[in-house]
Amino acid sequence: MKTELLKILRESDGYVSGQQLCERFHVSRTAVWKVIQQLKEEGYEVEAVKNRGYRIMTTPDVITAEEIRSRLHTNWMAENCIYLESVDSTNNYAKRIAEDGTPSGTLVVADEQTGGKGRRGRSWSTPKGSNIAMTLLLRPRFRPEHASRMTLLAAMAVTCGIRRVTGLDAGIKWPNDVVVNGHKVCGILTEMNTEVDYINYVVIGIGINVNQKEFPEEIREIAGSLCLEAGKQIGRAALIAAIMEELERIYEIFQKTEDLSELYEEYNQICVNCGRKIRVLEPGHEYTGVAEGINQDGELMVVRDDTGEKVSVYAGEVSV
Ligand code: BTN
């Protein structure tokens, strides 16, 4: 009822009468009033005017399941949403609940991570109340060797979501970092549990620096936040909802072919490496070249400076 109530109040132009709400939810006026009180305790400013009804004045920057779901327009993505005030890592939590048969499309969101994990064994910081740490649980039916494609889809969804909500010129740094003005604002860590030829589940962990204003000295040059880039606070729940909507759209296109044949052009349009000189860092050796964009398998096509030969880079890191 709280989710639905938030939706109705937010989407209505003026006041919504108590009577209307009682009829909609088949409950008493006291029951409606109690939910309104709960919202006020959570930081929502709700005006109640006699003979007119209720109206939301301001919404706090919360990312509770109700706040996210009240903004969500998806058919199944993140329909099941779990909010945690604090957790070690949303990826670890999602893996734990995946073992209990939690459905595909479940989103785990946390306001704080105490042991957030980055790629290559690095740590990822999510201080309380300012950023987004979320993990999507999926149970895809394609082969395990194609699971890394999920990370590319997630990077597309985050980039499109950030562009839509903030108007910032976000782009993907291949394969799956999201950058704004050269600063990394999002990292993605995909983990999976598989049999030899079968995926039990995939968890896609997404960390976005949203309203963080200070970064430790050692990453100050490379890291950024949406708030610093936009010069204003960004609402986290609206951003999460937009990303989930984009991911549902992109995932459904992907599922038709299980490759990126219908998506690589869109990916390349928002990939900051395309047409640019890059340095490819592969285990044991590195080289420079010009990135042409990804192909339908998600590999980055690079024309090497030294040999002139076109090579495809499957995994690894590139620096601009
Ligand atoms: C990277 O190193 O760029 C990937 C960072 C991924 C961080 C996210 S935050 C949500 C999820 N939970 C984790 O512990 N890690 C991912």
Give the atom of ligand 1 at the shortest distance from the alpha carbon of 122.
2
Distance CA 203, CA 190 (A): 6
Domain boundary among 58, 89, 106: 58
Q: What is the pLDDT of residue 228?
A: 97
The token duo for 58 is: 């301001």
Which protein residue's CA is at the shortest distance from atom 15 of ligand 1? 117
Tokens encoding 19: 């009577």
Check residue 5 and give its pLDDT: 95
Model pLDDT for residues 196-214, shown as the tens digit of each residue = 889 999 999 999 999 999 9
- Which of 125, 174, 206 to mutate to test ligand 1, by most ligand atoms within 8 A of the CB atom? 206
CATH number at 289 reads 2.30.30.100
* Ligand 1 pocket test target in 97, 113, 122, 124 with most atoms within 8 Å of CB: 124
Domain that holds residue 35: 2-58
Return the residue whose CA atom lies nearest to atom 16 of ligand 1: 205
What's the pLDDT tens digit per position in 69-80?
999 999 999 999
Same domain, 53 and 167: no
Looking at residue 148, its pLDDT comes to 87
Q: For residue 213, what is the domain's CATH number?
A: 3.30.930.10
Q: What is the rounded average pLDDT of the residues 39-51?
A: 93
Q: Which atom of ligand 1 is nearest to the CA of 177?
A: 3
Name the pairing type of β-strands 277-282 and 285-294.
antiparallel
DSSP string, the chain: -HHHHHHHHHHSSS-B-HHHHHHHHT--HHHHHHHHHHHHHTT-EEEEETTTEEEEEE--S---HHHHHTT---SSTTSSEEEESSBS-HHHHHHHHHTTTPPTTEEEEES-BSS-B-GGG-B--B-TTTSEEEEEEE---S-GGGTHHHHHHHHHHHHHHHHHHH----EEETTTEEEETTEEEEEEEEEEEE-SS-EEEEEEEEEE--S-----GGGTTTB--HHHHHTS---HHHHHHHHHHHHHHHHHHHHHHSSSTTTHHHHHHTBTTTTSEEEEEETTEEEEEEEEEE-TTSPEEEEETTT--EEEE-SSEEE-
Q: Which of 117, 203, 243 is the pocket-test mutation for ligand 1 (most atoms within 8 Å of CB)?
A: 117
**Cβ contacts of 223 within 8 Å, gap of 6 or more:** 183, 184, 185, 209, 215
Local confidence band at 147 (pLDDT 50, 70, 90 cut-offs): confident
Instruction: Answer whether residue 145 shows pLDDT above 90.
Output: no
125 alpha carbon – ligand 1 mean position (Å): 8
- 90 assigned ligand-binding residue: yes
Ligand 1 atom nearest to CA at 116 = 14
| Beta-bridge mates of residue 59 | none
* CA 277 – CA 8 distance, rounded (Å): 50
Residues 52 and 70 in one domain: no
Looking up tokens 């109206």 gives 55
- So what's the pLDDT on residue 79? 95
Judge contact between 319 and 281, C-beta under 8 A. yes
Q: Check residue 13 and give its pLDDT.
A: 84
Structure tokens at 148: 């890394």
**Percent share of the chain, pLDDT over 70:** 99
- Within this chain, do residues 27 and 160 fall inside the same structural domain, yes or no? no
Name which of 315, 319, 316 is nearest 289 in CA terms: 319
Q: Is 277 annotated as a binding residue?
A: no
Tokens for 217, please give them: 């000295």
Average pLDDT over residues 123-139: 96
> Do 255 and 285 reside in the same domain of the chain?
no
User: For residue range 221-277, what is the model confidence (pLDDT) as tens digits?
Assistant: 999 999 999 999 999 999 999 999 999 999 999 999 989 999 999 999 999 999 999
Which pLDDT does position 285 carry in this prediction? Answer: 85
222 with 99, same domain: the answer is yes
**Residue 164 structure tokens:** 């839509």
The verdict on 148 and 123 lying in the same domain is: yes
Q: Calculate how far, in angstroms, residue 94's C-alpha sits from the geometric centre of ligand 1.
A: 13
* Residues 189 and 300 both lie in one domain: no
- Pocket, ligand 1, Cβ cutoff 6 A: 89-91, 113, 116-119, 122, 124, 126, 133-135, 187-189, 205-207
For ligand 1, the distance from its centroid to the CA atom of residue 149, given in whole angstroms, is: 17
Specify the higher pLDDT residue, 314 or 163: 163
Do 197 and 253 lie in one domain? The reply is yes
- pLDDT per residue over 16-35, tens digit each? 998 989 999 999 989 999 99
Nearest residue to 275 (alpha-carbon basis) of 309, 255, 301, 298:
301
- The helix-helix angle for 18-25 and 29-41 (nearest 10°) equals 100
String of b and e for 192-201 (b: at least 16 CB within 10 Å)? beeeeeebeb
Q: What pTM does this model have?
A: 0.94
Q: Is residue 166 domain-shared with residue 295, that is, in the same domain?
A: no
Tell whether residue 159 is among the known ligand binding residues.
Answer: no
How many domains does the chain contain in total? Answer: 3
Find the CATH number of the domain harbouring 10: 1.10.10.10
Residue 90 sits in the same domain as residue 210: yes
pLDDT tens-digit map of 281-318 = 887 889 999 999 999 999 999 999 999 999 999 877 77
158 and 184 share a domain? yes
pLDDT per residue as tens digits for the range 66-105: 999 999 999 999 999 999 999 999 999 999 999 999 999 9
Rounded Cα distance between 244 and 58, Å, is 24
Probe ligand 1: pick from 83, 86, 91, max atoms within 8 Å of CB?
A: 91
